DNA sequence: GCATTTTGTCATACC
DNA sequence: CAGGTATGACAAAAT
């Protein structure tokens, strides 16, 4: 069993990741909804239902990105979500080839497999230099992600090798099913968690019988997956298809799988999705890009991160990365971004991102650098200085003080006239080494922002579309597990009914044995209108309803002193199936309880033991004080009924006091639980808000870059027009005006005047002062 | 046995 | 005012 689990988590899921990497849609959600109870039990082990730990783990990992409201392992959770979202991003074909390549590149130096697997055809010819860049000082979260993936890839390598298929079809199917089940159980997440998996491995190692051959298993599983998922590639769905063929397909090599996948999967723009570096290089020139430039672009990417990146290249990288992002969001947006005509002086001058294919290139580049954040952290100084270079190229005439003919005349003035004066002012006044050009400054800022944006984007596996989808899923999730919606108002309202929404939704979604049996007695109990939580407590209530017996109190006292003794009471076994207060049962209920069979399997003593331990202190106290009704009633009954109940019995002062304490504590307990859930919910909502804001920021930045680009184009055009007009002007003697002495100026009414340069300078200075003051 | 997380409880404020 | 909820703080229990 355990070894099976190991194989599932290690091999199959990793292969799934691999498939995702190459674009096969692996819809985990499909598997999430389909539950295969026995297998779950196999994987989790029969005792999983009895320990809170696993229960929490289950909840946390159930769907790969779910989270138990009470388990605020946010870091893990976010990491897992990030990873999963990235994987999901892959399955939607929106994955930039970069990432795929990046991971594969990372893979190589780790020693092993993918690099040494020619058949996989996935290993890029990553140089060791590339690997170095993947170094330690990543951004915090990026490094997490990267490492997570690289680690996964490390294991992925173990899956990659083409397998010598010995397994029967049944085996494969079983593995397939188990694998799905594993995903159901959240292994998808755990697999990503390297340490976790490592731990698991350690445990499993002890129990493994050792006879099995892991690689074969994993490989077979991978194959099975590949085959089943091939079908998915056609349909776009990822449910594991029944393997139509027989052993022939079992022998399907990974390479063949990949080829098939390439053939079957609609890659859209990336139809020529490169399975290896050669295909990349082949694919790239096929686009509109001139081969020479391609080579230029590619060579540094492929050969590694040789330090001397020239500014151009960085600029290209940056732009293409941004384009990549834009493509992720909206292909049309990217088109707009790079809609500049081929002959556009801008793009030629600055080697701005060429029209299309650079995406792949830069993707590759990015990949080889092992993450954007690193790229930029590494080269940030250059990036900062980049605008200088670009602006210098952009406006070679910037130093206005010099009237040298070298600088194209008038451009400065024109810029000053054409652009807001403060911009020109910065250009003129701070002509120093820093930011001679206003646009440069803007661009600089933009790029720095963009850099951080890149970090964010990468760190979040950012893709607005995916993010929104993820958001939806997330919403539904939180709706399930957390009994509150986003808005505080609805939140409070839902909780007003004593956590009814949470428990009801959860119990309805995952009806467990407990709740089913509970509901019947619940109806008998007639605890009308009191929260659905109480239905899980019914057994205790039933017990209470039966009446209170002296002998019982004895036992209870015993059990209170020594809980273990309770276990030997046969009729108590089923009693107090859930002695905890409201929330706990609901949580248990909603959690992935193993199928009823598992519960039955569990030894009854164990169960009683467990249940006894589950008894709260107040319950023990209540029994000790011979309180004739259940804590459940004490706590959950409405005041009137509660008082009625109290009046029915002759209770001592101590008993009454205890009852009131129990009620108070019970209420407070629920309140605390609600409070915590709410807190967690708030955090999650905030996180979502942050994501939204990050998306907005990214979008705005892209727009900004876009605007700047068009601005630059216009500037360029105006400049050329200016030159043309100015060059044609002749004075009374038929001689051209000296650009050092005259300048063209636009008047407010649209007319153009030729004025002496001194005047123009003065005007420009005058105009630039105002906005500067306004700035301050 | 320790560190961390979860859960229960209390005190208090507020409704 | 009583009853209930919300929440910070603390400690016990669980992991």
* Separation of A664 CA and B12 C1' (Å): 14
Within residues 457-486 of protein chain A, the ones with CB less than 7 A from nucleic strand C are none
For residues A327 and A464, give the distance between their C-alpha atoms in angstroms, rounded to a whole number: 11
* Separation of A186 CA and B9 C1' (Å): 33
Per DSSP, A12 falls in state: I
pLDDT band at A697 (very low <50, low <70, confident <90, very high): very high
Cβ-based neighbour number of residue A549 at 10 Å: 11
Which residue approaches B11 most closely, CA to C1'? A668
Within residues 63-82 of protein chain A, the ones with CB less than 7 A from nucleic strand B are 70-73
Within residues 309-338 of protein chain A, the ones with CB less than 7 A from nucleic strand C are none
Q: Is the CB of A57 under 7 A from strand B?
A: no
* pLDDT at residue A623 in the model: 77
Measuring from the CA of residue A669 to each C1', which nucleotide is nearest?
B8
The answer, yes or no, to whether residue A278 has pLDDT greater than 70, is: no
* Separation of A579 CA and B7 C1' (Å): 15
Q: Which of A210-214, A647-651, A753-757 has the lowest mean pLDDT?
A: A210-214
Q: Is the CB of A169 under 7 A from strand B?
A: no
> Please, which positions of strand B sit below 7 A from a protein CB?
5-12
* Separation of A669 CA and B7 C1' (Å): 9
* pLDDT at residue A248 in the model: 38
> Please, which positions of strand C sit below 7 A from a protein CB?
3-9, 14-15
Q: Is the CB of A493 under 7 A from strand C?
A: no
* pLDDT at residue A699 in the model: 97
* Separation of A265 CA and B4 C1' (Å): 46
Structure tokens at A563: 């809980």
Chain segment A635-648, per-residue pLDDT in tens: 888 888 888 888 88
Q: Is A685 left (phi over 0), alpha (psi -120 to 50) or beta?
A: alpha
* Separation of A667 CA and C8 C1' (Å): 17
pLDDT band at A715 (very low <50, low <70, confident <90, very high): very high
For chain A, percent of residues with pLDDT exceeding 70: 20
* pLDDT at residue A698 in the model: 97
Structure tokens at A181: 């089940």
For residues A563 and A612, give the distance between their C-alpha atoms in angstroms, rounded to a whole number: 6
First to last CA, chain A: 70
Q: Which residue has tokens 């089913």?
A: A516
* Separation of A666 CA and C11 C1' (Å): 18
* Separation of A600 CA and B10 C1' (Å): 39
A657/A229: higher pLDDT:
A657
Per DSSP, A736 falls in state: B
Measuring from the CA of residue A618 to each C1', which nucleotide is nearest?
B8
* Separation of A659 CA and C1 C1' (Å): 21
Highest mean pLDDT among A233-242, A262-271, A277-286, A739-748: A739-748
Measuring from the CA of residue A53 to each C1', which nucleotide is nearest?
C15
For A730, the 3-state DSSP assignment is strand
For residues A219 and A217, give the distance between their C-alpha atoms in angstroms, rounded to a whole number: 5
pLDDT band at A608 (very low <50, low <70, confident <90, very high): low
* Separation of A633 CA and B13 C1' (Å): 27
Q: Is the CB of A537 under 7 A from strand B?
A: no
Chain segment A418-456, per-residue pLDDT in tens: 433 333 333 333 333 333 333 333 444 444 444 444 444
For residues A138 and A9, give the distance between their C-alpha atoms in angstroms, rounded to a whole number: 27
For chain A, percent of residues with pLDDT exceeding 90: 5
Chain segment A80-102, per-residue pLDDT in tens: 444 444 444 443 333 333 333 33
Q: Is the CB of A671 under 7 A from strand C?
A: yes
The arithmetic mean of pLDDT across residues A212-241, rounded, is 36
* pLDDT at residue A645 in the model: 86
Chain mean pLDDT for chain A:
47
For residues A680 and A69, give the distance between their C-alpha atoms in angstroms, rounded to a whole number: 6
Class of domain A443-455+615-728: mainly alpha
The answer, yes or no, to whether residue A367 has pLDDT greater than 70, is: no
Highest mean pLDDT among A201-215, A250-264, A466-480, A502-516: A250-264
For residues A510 and A489, give the distance between their C-alpha atoms in angstroms, rounded to a whole number: 27
For residues A28, A32, A34, A38, the Cα torsion angle rounded to the nearest 10 degrees is 110
* Separation of A771 CA and B2 C1' (Å): 63
Which residue approaches B9 most closely, CA to C1'? A665
Q: How many CA atoms lie within 13 A of A488 on its CB side?
A: 5
The answer, yes or no, to whether residue A754 has pLDDT greater than 70, is: yes
Q: Which residue has tokens 């000053």?
A: A416
Highest mean pLDDT among A7-11, A288-292, A402-406, A721-725: A721-725
Cβ partners under 8 Å of residue A412, min gap 6: A395, A397, A398, A399, A400, A424, A427, A428
Chain segment A641-690, per-residue pLDDT in tens: 888 888 888 888 888 888 888 898 999 999 999 999 988 988 888 888 99
Within residues 561-620 of protein chain A, the ones with CB less than 7 A from nucleic strand B are 580-581, 583-584, 587, 616-618
Largest CA distance in chain A: 126
Measuring from the CA of residue A584 to each C1', which nucleotide is nearest?
B7
DSSP string, A286-301: HSSS-HHHHHHHHHHH
Q: Using an 8 Å Cβ cutoff, are A428 and A401 in contact?
A: yes
* pLDDT at residue A637 in the model: 87
Helices (H), A338-400: 345-350, 358-369, 372-394
* Separation of A675 CA and B13 C1' (Å): 15
The answer, yes or no, to whether residue A691 has pLDDT greater than 80, is: yes
* pLDDT at residue A694 in the model: 95
* pLDDT at residue A695 in the model: 96
Query: Rounded to the nearest 5°, which phi and psi values hold at A432?
Result: -55, -165
* pLDDT at residue A55 in the model: 29
Q: Is the CB of A634 under 7 A from strand C?
A: no
Measuring from the CA of residue A488 to each C1', which nucleotide is nearest?
C6
The answer, yes or no, to whether residue A720 has pLDDT greater than 80, is: yes
Q: Using an 8 Å Cβ cutoff, are A185 and A41 in contact?
A: no
Helices (H), A550-650: 550-561, 563-566, 583-590, 596-601, 604-614, 617-624, 631-636, 639-648
Chain segment A331-348, per-residue pLDDT in tens: 333 333 333 333 333 333
Q: What are the residue ranges spanned by the domains of chain A?
A: 443-455+615-728, 738-769
For residues A343 and A354, give the distance between their C-alpha atoms in angstroms, rounded to a whole number: 11
Which residue approaches C12 most closely, CA to C1'? A617
* pLDDT at residue A445 in the model: 43
Chain segment A280-315, per-residue pLDDT in tens: 333 333 333 333 333 333 333 333 333 333 444 444
Q: Is the CB of A679 under 7 A from strand C?
A: yes
* Separation of A668 CA and B9 C1' (Å): 8
* Separation of A70 CA and B5 C1' (Å): 10
Tell me how far the alpha carbon of residue A28 is from its chain's centroid.
Answer: 14
Cβ partners under 8 Å of residue A256, min gap 6: none
The arithmetic mean of pLDDT across residues A715-727, rounded, is 91
Q: Which residue has tokens 């399930």?
A: A480
The answer, yes or no, to whether residue A595 has pLDDT greater than 60, is: no
Highest mean pLDDT among A174-178, A232-236, A403-407: A174-178
Measuring from the CA of residue A673 to each C1', which nucleotide is nearest?
B7
Q: Is the CB of A663 under 7 A from strand C?
A: yes
Q: Is the CB of A213 under 7 A from strand C?
A: no
């Amino acid at each position: 069993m355990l070894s099976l689990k190991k194989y599932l988590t290690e091999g199959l899921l990793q292969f799934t990741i691999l498939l995702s990497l190459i674009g096969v849609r692996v819809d985990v959600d499909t598997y999430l909804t389909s539950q295969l109870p026995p297998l779950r039990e196999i994987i989790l082990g029969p005792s999983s239902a009895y320990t809170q730990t696993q229960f929490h783990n289950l909840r946390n990992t159930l769907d790969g990105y779910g989270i138990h409201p009470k388990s605020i392992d946010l870091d893990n959770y976010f990491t897992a979500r990030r990873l999963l979202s990235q994987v999901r991003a892959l399955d939607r074909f929106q994955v930039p080839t970069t990432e795929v390549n990046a991971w594969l590149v990372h893979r190589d130096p780790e020693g092993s497999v993918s690099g040494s697997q020619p058949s996989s055809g996935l290993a890029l010819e990553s140089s060791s230099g590339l690997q170095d860049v993947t170094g330690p000082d990543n951004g915090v979260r990026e490094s997490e992600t990267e490492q997570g993936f690289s680690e996964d890839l490390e294991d992925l390598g173990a899956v990659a090798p083409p397998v010598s298929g010995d397994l029967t079809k049944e085996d494969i199917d079983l593995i397939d099913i188990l694998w799905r089940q594993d995903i159901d159980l959240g292994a998808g997440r755990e697999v990503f968690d390297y340490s976790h998996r490592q731990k698991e491995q350690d445990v499993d190692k002890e129990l493994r019988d050792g006879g099995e051959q892991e690689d074969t298993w994993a490989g077979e599983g991978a194959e099975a997956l590949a085959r089943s998922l091939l079908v998915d590639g056609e349909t776009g769905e990822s449910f594991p298809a029944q393997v139509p063929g027989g052993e022939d397909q079992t022998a399907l090599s990974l390479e063949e799988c990949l080829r098939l996948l390439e053939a079957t999967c609609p890659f859209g723009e990336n139809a020529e999705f490169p399975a290896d570096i050669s295909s990349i290089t082949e694919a790239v020139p096929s686009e509109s890009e001139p081969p020479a430039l391609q080579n230029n672009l590619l060579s540094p990417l492929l050969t590694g991160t040789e330090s001397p990146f020239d500014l151009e290249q960085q600029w290209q990288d940056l732009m293409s990365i941004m384009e990549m992002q834009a493509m992720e969001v909206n292909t049309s947006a990217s088109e707009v971004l790079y809609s500049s005509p081929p002959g556009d002086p801008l793009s030629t001058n600055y080697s701005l991102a060429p029209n299309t294919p650079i995406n792949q290139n830069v993707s590759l580049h990015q990949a080889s650098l092992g993450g954007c954040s690193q790229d930029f952290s590494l080269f940030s100084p250059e990036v900062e200085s980049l605008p200088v270079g670009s602006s210098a190229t952009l406006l070679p005439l910037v130093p206005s003080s010099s009237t040298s003919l070298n600088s194209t005349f008038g451009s400065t003035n024109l810029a000053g006239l054409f652009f807001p004066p403060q911009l020109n002012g910065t250009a003129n006044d701070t002509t120093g080494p820093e930011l001679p050009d206003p646009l440069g400054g803007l661009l600089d800022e933009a790029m720095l922002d963009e850099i951080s944006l890149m970090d964010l984007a990468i760190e979040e596996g950012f893709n607005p579309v995916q993010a929104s989808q993820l958001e939806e899923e997330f919403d539904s999730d939180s709706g399930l597990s957390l009994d509150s919606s986003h808005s505080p108002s609805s939140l409070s309202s839902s909780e007003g009914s004593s956590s009814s929404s949470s428990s009801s939704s959860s119990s309805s979604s995952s009806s467990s044995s407990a709740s089913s049996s509970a509901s019947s007695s619940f109806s008998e109990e007639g605890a009308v209108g009191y929260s659905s939580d109480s239905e899980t407590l019914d057994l205790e209530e039933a017990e209470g309803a039966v009446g209170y017996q002296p002998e019982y109190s004895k036992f209870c006292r015993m059990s209170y002193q020594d809980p273990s003794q309770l276990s030997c009471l046969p009729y108590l076994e089923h009693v107090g199936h859930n002695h905890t207060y409201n929330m706990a049962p609901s949580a248990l209920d909603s959690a992935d309880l193993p199928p009823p069979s598992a519960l039955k399997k569990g030894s009854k003593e164990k169960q009683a033991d467990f249940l006894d331990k589950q008894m709260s202190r107040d319950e023990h106290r209540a029994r000790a004080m011979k309180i004739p009704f259940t804590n459940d009633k004490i706590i959950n009954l409405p005041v009137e009924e509660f008082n009625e109940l109290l009046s029915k019995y002759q209770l001592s002062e101590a008993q009454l006091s205890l009852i009131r304490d129990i009620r108070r504590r019970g209420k407070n307990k629920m309140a605390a639980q609600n409070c915590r859930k709410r807190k967690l919910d708030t955090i999650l909502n905030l996180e979502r808000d942050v994501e939204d804001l990050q998306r907005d920021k990214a979008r705005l930045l892209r727009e900004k870059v876009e605007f700047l680009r068009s601005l630059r184009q216009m500037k360029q055009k105006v400049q050329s027009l200016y030159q043309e007009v100015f060059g044609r002007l002749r004075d009374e003697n038929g001689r051209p005006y000296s650009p050092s002495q005259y300048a063209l100026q636009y008047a407010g009414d649209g007319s153009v005047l030729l004025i002496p340069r001194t005047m123009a300078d003065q005007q420009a200075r005058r105009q630039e002062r105002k906005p500067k003051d306004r700035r301050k």
